[in-house]
């Protein structure tokens, strides 16, 4: 199996037991990705840069598609005509850090509705929003109160399955991860990134681009804490259950409660907390 292309090896000084030695260390690559939108405006094609995010290179098209979906700009794969890398401003080569998404004719784009600062960091995607109200106004759907239903024993095993699939984390120790599981505990997909919101956009975008009809009946497992924005993205995708090894924020719990999403935190050491919608846990 070939090594991942999203890591870089550097030589560092390692201090251990009072000795200093040269050591080859693997780091997760972090680079900016600019997402540009090509859309129809008053009968003509227009282009606009809508986001710059710091991410781990790889699965950039899925990241762009997931971002557009969770922002409410596209509703399905059929809204997207193409996704491609753009040419660099100073050369004829395509830049691996600029992606252009072309929307189908008739698919409009309201730049005012998006209301976001075009720069977000790898540590916190929500800080790029113009305001918290702008997120709520995206119209997160309220989920149906029915299934899937889970046994606690199945929930206990999910973080270990996710951890065993974190290939780049094994080498660097520096990435967040999210995985999509069936109600039977089968791992469908896993994505890693320096930004937890980017990892989730990649996961959702992959499902959108492959037309996978699995999100509404799946479990989302997170390697860290549960932020408001991650709940918002899961709701936009119709994912009914989030399980995480870390804690949720107050706003994450509030949003999950409002929209019938089951939120499980501290899923480790054969225990977990149910914060919202407990009826999905048998």
In the structure encoding, which two tokens stand for residue 280, read together? 């999905």
Is there a catalytic annotation at residue 140? no
Tokens of 173: 């120790």
128 alpha-carbon distance from chain centroid: 15
* C-beta separation of 220 from 155 below 8 A: no
Instruction: Exactly one of 86, 124, 140, 178 is catalytic; name it.
Output: 124
- 201 close to 63: Cβ distance less than 8 angstroms: yes
What does the angle CA 156 – CA 161 – CA 165 come to, to the nearest 5 degrees? 155
CB atoms near residue 205 (< 10 Å):
28
Strand partners of residue 268: 271
What counts of helices (H) and strands (E) characterise the chain?
8, 13
CA-CA distance, 77 to 205, in Å (whole number)? 9
Distance between CA atoms of residues 56 and 32, nearest Å: 8
Among all residues, which ones are annotated catalytic? Answer: 124
């Amino acid at each position: 199996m070939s090594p991942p292309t999203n890591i870089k090896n550097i030589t560092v000084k390692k201090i251990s037991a009072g000795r200093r030695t040269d050591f080859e260390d693997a780091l997760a690559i972090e680079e900016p990705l600019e997402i540009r939108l090509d859309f129809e405006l008053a009968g003509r094609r227009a282009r606009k840069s809508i986001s710059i995010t710091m991410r781990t290179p790889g699965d950039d098209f899925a990241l762009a598609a997931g971002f557009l979906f969770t922002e409410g700009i596209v509703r399905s794969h059929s809204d997207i005509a193409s996704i491609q890398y753009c040419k660099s401003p100073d050369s004829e080569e395509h830049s691996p850090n600029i992606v252009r998404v072309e929307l189908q004719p008739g698919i409009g784009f309201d730049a005012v509705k998006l209301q976001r600062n075009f720069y977000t960091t790898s540590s916190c995607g929500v800080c790029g929003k113009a305001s918290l109200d702008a997120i709520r106004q995206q119209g997160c759907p309220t989920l149906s109160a029915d299934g899937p239903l889970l046994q606690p024993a199945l929930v206990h095993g999910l973080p270990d399955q996710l951890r065993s699939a974190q290939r780049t984390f094994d080498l660097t120790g520096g990435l967040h991860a999210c995985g999509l599981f069936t109600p039977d505990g089968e791992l469908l997909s896993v994505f890693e990134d320096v930004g937890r919101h980017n990892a989730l956009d990649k996961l959702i975008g992959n499902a959108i681009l492959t037309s996978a009809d699995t999100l509404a009946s799946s479990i989302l497992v997170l390697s860290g804490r549960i932020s408001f924005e991650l709940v918002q993205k899961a709701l936009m995708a119709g994912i009914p259950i989030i399980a995480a090894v870390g804690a949720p924020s107050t706003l994450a719990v509030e949003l999950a409660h409002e929209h019938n999403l089951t939120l499980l935190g501290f899923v480790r050491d054969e225990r977990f907390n149910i914060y919202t919608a407990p009826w999905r846990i048998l």
